[in-house]
Structure 1
């Protein structure tokens, strides 16, 4: 297998821990990191401190993207910066007939997704979106059961996602609070969920109707100590009255737990330029919702009843997939150290044939991030698809676009109080 050259666009914690670290160790015979690009020079220093071999790499600002491609001659752009930067880098890769490996979401909106789809048709480069939810053992087993005909023709799906008060509030302390940067949480977070359903069912979403609101955060949040802008957790004189802060921190300010996507301690120690992780979750400039319910119709007849809430006592999901031959159910608890009650930690799949006896399926997980999903994803990315797997799992640009367009249809349906057809946002 040819050793591929990767240039990193967005030297984020995700890029370094999820991709660069294994590229420098497990996959060093197959990969080579040849350049780094980021708007913040401090991120290059942190990358070198964590991984000394990166210190010798050429580093570039975003406006030097063309120069980086010309000088480093990458085979692949690894894109893992802020959501609103993804499309620019993907489009540059396609213009130069280079592949791109892009973190979800593929872009912050459907318009940029359309540009990517159109550009890919004219390019030798290909786009892969790293939807790691597809790769967990449980999710792969559910896909296999569907392919085996266990539920027959899928008629309806119930998916309820819960984000706990620690993880949920973190989105409102950071840049995710701005819709023009993240697309809102119906894109930044829920695109994961929509892609999973699209992949499970083998169907494409056609129409969305949704309700949503900002129930917990923002100035009208019921736990806001006072209506005031410009506070930061580290210096706030009201943090002792903030239940979100007190729930997860000692009075000394030392964090007890870490977000599964953001290491707050590392971010503070790194002192990234102009980047804070402790903006007040009750600020008035928050532009996004924290609660959604949606009904989605698919092209082969399935219907999804979806909800997500970003301030719940525990984190995880409940899913049920109904079909003409049976029903699949599963409940997952995320981040067990944060769950304040006894629970069954090992996730199972419950299968109910339409006529017959219930079955409980136990699935063995691999070690590794996101319930063992990350190692499987990385093997597929850097070694090629697993030859023992007889179904498609890698996410294409169309997969990425459908997930983003569904999320955009959700927030636009909330805003405009009407159903949205995906064809209003995306042509494919």
Structure 2
């Protein structure tokens, strides 16, 4: 019998990452039975892309109970704007359904606690799609730690860089509003915090951080003119904007390699974008931006490890630098993302292992095709075929993983705002007994 899926939030990610594989690669065991979204234009786009699926039922944002009653799904996929995830995750769990949710699981520590409590009371379970775990280079790092090559983990250095194309995209879209995304310490950095939590097998307990808005917003040095309400596609200042000029040719016949809607941009008909309530070209210098673009943070873990973390959303190239230190040695790696966008040649990523007493070893990892470092195809197999039990470790993320990553991101933001250390327990809210009960619940992915 096929497993039945319904998608809440018909985003570009929902169409490409979930709907397409359900309808194609995994169609033998999966069935898409319903779509929910506040914007009817998104249903029209789905039907345009998959005309043979035009009969799939569609629902408005307040029709969740009716969707469940009429389509009888086994799994709900939450893939809309970040702030909508909690609503549909909790509603699905109350119906006893499994949930697959895009990261971040939710946008606040309070909503994380609510999800944990709802999961504990439900026969359903939550899976968070942390695809970075699945990149072969990242699974090899996990294996090296589990093999004991580093001994007891003492500290981690992680510096993450986003280039002027990818980094600026968050400030063109809804992500720039904290109410919708939780800010980038939640929306983006949860990826990074989850990786560290998973690699070292320890839980974060406290964070201290600084944060700032350096590159974007009305006061940015690169702003050609202080004027709100502009859009890149109609702005008269594009030739004076370094961010626009870097990624756009003067000729209108030459397209940007990715408009942050991917192939969703509609052609013809006088409609620049296919949605009625969203466009990805808002000015990155608008005064409405209320999030940070730079963070430096320290996180303390229950096993004694210390994380030194930084992220910057406007740099010449994209990637990260990682070092993990332990009582038996050190691991180092450097990754350059999007090499086709990088204006210079970059080396293939390897891992350097330095034993505390001995000679250096360079570890080469077999790379795989697919987005997010080859991680997406492997994640999809686990999601729609069941987790590969041959692995010596769990890799699918559950609600507890999602909660710790979100709570760390919020602790980082709150620390930067309030100029004090912030504990993870404080962010998750509730009394100590309630937190302990929630975090000792299921939290291991869908059943």
Q: TM-score, normalised by structure 2?
A: 0.93
Contact 1:6 / 1:77 at 8 angstroms: preserved in 2?
yes
Alignment-derived partner of residue 157 in structure 1: 156
Q: Is the 8 A contact 2:156 2:305 kept in 1?
A: yes
2:300 aligns with one of 279, 297, 302: 297
Q: For residue 331 of structure 1, what is the aligned residue in structure 2?
A: 334
Q: Which residue of 2 aligns with 1:404?
A: 406
Matching residue of 1:53:
52
Aligned equivalents of 2:416, 2:368: Cα separation in 1: 39
Determine the C-alpha separation between the residues in 1 that align with 2:273 and 2:239. Answer: 26
Whether the 8 Å contact between 1:248 and 1:255 is mirrored in structure 2 is no
Distance change (3 Å), C-alpha of 1:60 and 1:43? same
> Aligned in 2, Cα 1:51/1:264: closer, same or farther, shift over 3 Å?
closer
Number of the residue aligned with 1:131 = 130
User: Aligned equivalents of 2:277 and 2:396: distance in 1?
Assistant: 35
Matching residue of 2:107: 108
Please list, as runs of the form range in 1=range in 2, the aligned pairs for 1:35-114 lying within 5 A after superposition: 35-114=34-113
Deviations 1:143-167 (A, max 9, x none): 0010000100000000000000001
1:173–1:279 contact (8 Å) kept in structure 2: yes
Superposed CA deviations along residues 384-406 of structure 1, whole A, max 9, x for unmatched, are 11132111111010100000000
Q: Distance in 1 between matches of 2:148 and 2:75?
A: 38
CA distance in 2, matches of 1:317, 1:171: 18
Partner of 1:379: 381
Q: In structure 1, the residue corresponding to 2:265 is in which secondary structure?
A: helix
Moved over 4 A (4+): 267-270
Whole-angstrom CA distance in 1 between matches of 2:411 and 2:34: 36
Cα offset, 1:53, TM superposition: 2.9
Deviation per residue, 1:256-305 (Å, 9 max, x gap): 3226x642762675420021111110000101000000000000000000
Deviations 1:100-123 (A, max 9, x none): 000000001111111000111110
Instruction: Name 2:175's counterpart in structure 1.
Output: 176
* Preserved contact between residue 46 and residue 270 of structure 1 (Cα < 8 Å): no
For 1:287, what is the secondary structure of its paired residue? coil
Distance 1:70 1:127 in 2: 20
Check the 8 A contact 2:4/2:30 in 1, yes or no. yes
Over aligned residues, Cα RMSD in angstroms? 1.2
* Structure 1, 47-56 or 160-169: larger mean CA deviation: 47-56
Gaps of at least 5 residues in structure 1 are none
2:139 is matched with 140
**1:158 touches 1:319 (CA, 8 Å); kept in 2?**
yes
Residue 307 of structure 1 aligns to a residue in which SS? strand
3-state SS in 2 of match to 1:337: coil
> What is residue 289 of structure 2 aligned with on the other side?
286
Mapped to 1, the partners of 2:274 and 2:117 lie a distance apart of 39
The corresponding residue for 1:256 is: 256
Deviations 1:44-81 (A, max 9, x none): 11111112232110100011111101100000001100
Unaligned runs of at least 5 residues, structure 2: 429-434, 440-447
* 8 Å contact from structure 1 (residues 264, 277) kept in 2: no
Q: TM-score normalised to the size of structure 1? A: 0.97
Equivalent pair of 2:261/2:280 in contact (CA under 8 Å): no
Q: Which digits, 9 at most, give the CA deviation of each residue in 1:213-255, with x for residues without a partner?
A: 0000001111000111111111111111001000000123443
Contact 1:218–1:284, Cα closer than 8 Å, also in 2: yes
- Output the CA distance in 1 between the equivalents of 2:379 and 2:272: 30
- Higher mean Cα deviation, 22-31 or 189-198? 22-31
Structure 1 residues 66-75 or 50-59, which shifts more?
50-59
Counterpart in 2 of 1:352?
354
